[in-house]
Amino acid sequence: MYDATLWIVGSQWSAAAPQALDIEPGRAVPADTLVKNAIAEMRDLKVGDESKLRVWQAEMRRVIPNVQQGDQIVIFCSDTNRTLAYVNDSSTGEIDDPSFCPAVMSVWLHPQTKHQAMRKSLLGQ
C-alpha cells in the first residue's frame, strides 16, 4: 500500500532520538482513513488511553491531508518533543505533545505492530 523509509540519528534506531518516517502511498487515501487506521493501531497497541487517543485524533486530523499516489508524507520527531508533519515538502503543522510522536511511530515500529514486515524493513532486520 505504501513505501516507507525511516531516517535516524546514529547507527541504530532509538525512540528517544530525533527521527523521521517518510511514507509514500501507492494509491490515493483520504485523510480520515489514515487517521482512523493510525488511531485504531495505537488503541490495539495500548499506547494511549481513550482521552489521549481523542486528542491525538483531533491533532492528526488537523495536520494530515488527503494524499494521492506518489505523495510524500514525512513525520518528524524533533529533539524539542514536537512532531512536525510535511506533505510534499510543505509543512502541514506540528503537534506539541511529547507523547504523540512515540505513539504514532509505534504504528510501524512497536514490537507488536501488525505491520511486522514493514517494521523489520524499517529497522533493517
Render pLDDT for 14-59 as a digit per residue (tens, 0 to 9): 888 899 999 999 999 999 999 999 999 999 999 999 999 999 999 9
Prediction pTM value: 0.90
d(CA 113, CA 11): 22
Phi and psi for 67 in degrees, rounded to 5? -125, 155
CA dihedral sign, ordered 63, 65, 67, 72 = negative
Domain ranges of the chain: 2-123
State which CATH number among 3.50.70.10, 2.40.50.140, 1.10.443.10, 3.40.50.720 fits the domain covering 2-123: 3.50.70.10
Cell numbers given for 22: 517518510
Q: Of 83, 80, 78, whose CA–CA distance to 94 is shortest?
A: 83
